[in-house]
Amino acid sequence: MELADYEKRLQELEKANRILQKKLERSEADRVDLEKTNDKNQALLKSVIRELEESKTTLEEKSWDLEQALKNLQAMQAKLVASEKMSALGVLVAGVAHEINNPVNFIYGNLIHAQKYTHDLLELVQLYQQYYPNPTSEIQEMIEAIELDFLCEDLPKLLKSMNVGTERIREIVKSLRNFSRLNEAEFKVVDIHEGLDSALMILHNRLKPKADHPGIEVIKEYGQLPPVECCPGQLNQVFMNLLTNAVDALDEGIRDWELETGQKVEEMQGMQGKSFSSISNSQSQVPIIQIRTEIIQDNWVTIRIGDNGLGMSEDVHSKLFDPFFTTKPVGKGTGLGLSISYQIVVEKHGGKMQCYSAPGQGAEFVVQIPLRQSIGDRNPC
């Protein structure tokens, strides 16, 4: 190859090199521009992501606030409805108790005279039999027809039974009237024990033994309490809620005992000291509700209502006073009883309400309220 050819080839290579160099420069410029664009896009993307995260957080907070507001609104609505129902119930019960009380008082008052008149008439019959031992045949037939000897023996028993029945009705009416103080708007000084006894009287049918129920023993250990200033109707509602829950817990224990052992509750009759609330816990007793009252620190009243039922787990215990929380089947409970009770004790009376329980160890609710309400702290009933 001649020199001219080499020079020509060299020129071609130099030209190709210059072209490649320019292409490289343009590619580098494009790369730089692309990196700048990419950086801008990444910054924009990060900004968008940050804004989305902030918006998400804000929306979650607002959603939580709305959810809480809705729950509070539902709880308030339910409490208002329950309060209205209880107020209406109080008016109804008071009216019914009054209507029952009037005729019962007539019956009760007349029974006293009827017993005296009957006693006098029976004595007169005995005198007739003593001084006229040989009655005419017509009288003798009547004596045999009406079974006079049995009548003379049974009639006083019948009147005595009627007297016991009317006494029972009078006690029930008194309990209903005590319990129906739900619409009273002022604090009053009352006997706490009357409220407890009224609630027990109303629950008597659930406490007494039945063919399918062993009966629940109620142990009352009442202290020497002075009259307490409170909203009596609302406090009675608390007692009713706590006692009803105790009865429900004991009933549940009985059902579990039946399922676990395959025996019926009839077989538990008279089984003092035997377990039903926890099959593995032989120290448990037959169904028991214990009520204790006492004065503490000279100016606080403590009411303890306990049972030896199944107890509750820590999870249930932590939610016990939450509105709408219930462990009962659908239709058996609203989940508001303990929540409203807590509000009545803590907010209305400036008191305290606690529960002590463990699985298989029963439960005890402790209510503490001041003996007297401070005027500044007093909320209307």
Alpha-carbon distance values, 176 to 93, 172, 197, 352, 365 (Å): 7, 6, 11, 27, 24
Q: pLDDT band at 83, cuts 50/70/90?
A: low
Is residue 241 one of the residues assigned to a domain?
Answer: yes
Is residue 304 one of the residues assigned to a domain?
Answer: yes
Is residue 136 one of the residues assigned to a domain?
Answer: no
CA distance 189 to 223: 17
CA distance 86 to 341: 13
Q: How many domains, in total, are found in the chain?
A: 1
Full-model pTM: 0.57
Q: Are 317 and 354 in contact (CB under 8 A)?
A: no
- CATH code: domain of residue 334: 3.30.565.10
Q: Where does residue 16 rank: exposed (0-12), middle (13-18), buried (19+ CB within 10 A)?
A: exposed
Q: pLDDT band at 295, cuts 50/70/90?
A: very high
For strands 352-357 and 300-307, give the pairing: unpaired
Is residue 7 one of the residues assigned to a domain?
Answer: no
Domain that holds residue 230: 188-375
Q: Which residues contact 143 (CB under 8 A, 6 or more apart)?
A: 135
User: Does pLDDT of 272 surpass 50?
Assistant: no
Report, as an integer, the average pLDDT of 73-95.
Answer: 64
Q: Where does residue 7 rank: exposed (0-12), middle (13-18), buried (19+ CB within 10 A)?
A: exposed
Catalogue the E-assigned strands of 191-230.
Answer: 217-221, 228-230
Distance of CA 351 to the CA centre of its chain: 18
Q: Are 308 and 362 in contact (CB under 8 A)?
A: yes
Report, as an integer, the average pLDDT of 98-111.
Answer: 84
Is residue 160 one of the residues assigned to a domain?
Answer: no
Catalogue the E-assigned strands of the chain.
Answer: 188-190, 217-221, 228-230, 288-296, 300-307, 352-357, 363-370
Is residue 102 one of the residues assigned to a domain?
Answer: no
Q: pLDDT band at 28, cuts 50/70/90?
A: confident
pLDDT at 355: 92
